[in-house]
Amino acid sequence: MDTITYIYQYLIYFYAAAITLIYIILAFLSYINIAKIKAKYTSIEEEKLKEHPEIAPGISVIAPAYNEEVIIIDNVNSLLNLDYPNFEVIIINDGSKDKTLELLIENFHLTEIPYPYIEKVNCQPVKRIFKSTKSEFSNLIIVDKENGGTKADAMNAGVNMAKYNYFINTDVDCILAKDTLTKIILPVLDSKTPVIAVGATMRMVNGCDIKNGIIKRVRPPRPFIPLFQETEYLRSYLVAKMGWSYINCIPNVSGGFGLFHTSTVINTGGFDSLSHAEDMDMTLRMITYKRDNNQKYRIVQIPDSLCWTEGPPNINILARQRTRWGRGLLQIFVVHRRLLFNRKYGRTGLIVMPYAFIFEFLAPIIEFSGVIFLCYLLLTNQINFATFWLMLFFAYLIGVTVSIITISYDLSVKKVYKTYVEYLWLILFSALEALIYHPFIVIFSLRGYLQFLFRKNFKWGQMTRKGYSNKNPDDTRLKAQESL
């Protein structure tokens, strides 16, 4: 037993040291990347793009909707108000049972049109296609299809309809910044190597003041869980993904918001309806396709906050979300196992997939085993408390430091909150994250792994929402439940 204890302790030591080192490297790469992007793309480049629509590439914005009657009108208005000269908005009504479609028809003066629909990627049958009779909504297309049960299926219908070379994959519950399209397309234009996907920073909408689908004032979320998630998201986007982006190693462009190259998505067969992590699955399949065909590609991350999404306001909804993420992560390593340590897939096979496997997938298992092991050491009186507290405090400080670096990066990109007190609030909660929030994430992830292994509870969730307009900003935006 002593040998096992000895080996385990050393393994944990090296594991923790490695993850710390990786985060330091990512933070450094991210710093360079943010500085580079800030210097390269300014409002002048954005204005040039807007002033010359004849040369600005078109973008399709695709947003699936299932039973979204409460928010649909505000959000479609928000999408239609994006400041870009050349885009279309495609809303997929994925067999909603509420008044989503009726509200769209009424508010946007829609009429059914004959449309020679071509199924380039597989999805449930499309029933009808609507366009507006009003010229101000001429770039709006509504696709009414049979419910496919997943966002991936609805997205595929949107991909079939998209007429432009690039499309945005988003949700109707997301609110996009007005300058989203100019910001997201600039890295595509500024690259000799074809860019197949671009991601941007997402944050929590809970706490923001919103009017008619437009964010009037950004605030940190008031409820604890979205507040923890805000730092967690920022850390993931501004440190990890910005760092990985610098060496073209992004394994996942978020399903909540991302720009994708239409024909590459079609060539890979579209989004996988059976995947629990359709965003990471899509990104990996695009990489695999490009590598298998010896084609160069880039996946880029930009630091700008372009998308605001509703964060789970309570522990039950967080549990369901993270359990699904856990299932998705394990599924990714089952489906894409051939990428792991495979030289053929370059950095994805040799760096980023092993990283994701060891430091993301295995992390909850190792953390849980660590707690069990700690209990054993306590019972057998084998703990040197002086060293224990020192190590614990050291690990805690590293976590807090990374969070502070993240928030400082966020400030360097753009000061989105009005006051510095709001940033201090974020820092304060990030200091509590490891103690209060993180243990739950570990438990929910492990639950997801077990559910995947024992094939339980695989249905996708549905959000019931309260809506954005005319609300007390203190209120959480996502009120009711994600029912499975």
CB closer to another protein out of 39 and 379: 39
Closest CA to 476 of 224, 252, 245, 138: 224
Q: Which residues pair with 144 in a beta bridge?
A: 93, 128
Rounded to the nearest 5°, which phi and psi values hold at 60?
A: -95, 130
Question: Is residue 32 involved in binding another protein (CB under 8 A)?
Answer: no
Q: 390-407 in b/e burial notation, b at 16+ Cβ within 10 A?
A: eeeeeeeebbbebbebbb
Task: Please choose, out of 8-16, 51-59, 146-154, 222-230, the segment that lies near another protein by the rule CB under 8 A.
Answer: 51-59
Question: Is residue 372 involved in binding another protein (CB under 8 A)?
Answer: no
Whole-number minimum distance, CB 252 to another protein, in Å? 25
Whole-number minimum distance, CB 118 to another protein, in Å? 5
Whole-number minimum distance, CB 270 to another protein, in Å? 17
Question: Is residue 39 involved in binding another protein (CB under 8 A)?
Answer: yes
Question: Is residue 191 involved in binding another protein (CB under 8 A)?
Answer: yes
Site for another protein (CB under 8 A): which residue of 83, 190, 292, 474?
190
- Total of chain residues touching another protein, rule CB under 8 A: 25
As to burial, measured by CB atoms within 10 angstroms (0-12 exposed, 13-18 middle, 19+ buried), residue 280 is buried
Closest CA to 47 of 179, 136, 177, 175: 179
Rounded Cα gap, residues 57 and 265, in angstroms: 18
237 with 301: CB under 8 angstroms? yes
Task: Please choose, out of 49-57, 203-211, 215-223, 403-411, the segment that lies near another protein by the rule CB under 8 A.
Answer: 49-57
Contact track, another protein, 157-186, x by CB under 8 A: -----------------------------x
CB closer to another protein out of 55 and 371: 55
Question: Is residue 121 involved in binding another protein (CB under 8 A)?
Answer: no
Provide the sign of the torsion angle of the four alpha carbons 342, 345, 350, 355, taken in this order.
Answer: negative
Closest CA to 156 of 164, 165, 167: 167
Question: Is residue 196 involved in binding another protein (CB under 8 A)?
Answer: no
Footprint on residues 289-348 left by another protein (CB under 8 A):
none
Contact track, another protein, 65-94, x by CB under 8 A: ------------------------------
Rounded Cα gap, residues 10 and 386, in angstroms: 18
Question: Is residue 40 involved in binding another protein (CB under 8 A)?
Answer: yes
Question: Is residue 188 involved in binding another protein (CB under 8 A)?
Answer: yes
CA 236 to chain centre: 9
Question: Is residue 45 involved in binding another protein (CB under 8 A)?
Answer: yes
Closest CA to 128 of 139, 118, 140, 114: 114
269 with 121: CB under 8 angstroms? yes
Task: Please choose, out of 53-61, 143-151, 338-346, 432-440, the segment that lies near another protein by the rule CB under 8 A.
Answer: 53-61
Site for another protein (CB under 8 A): which residue of 9, 11, 51, 388?
51
Name residue 331's amino acid: Q
What residues line the site for another protein (CB under 8 A)? 39-40, 42, 44-45, 48-49, 51-52, 54-57, 113-118, 186, 188-192
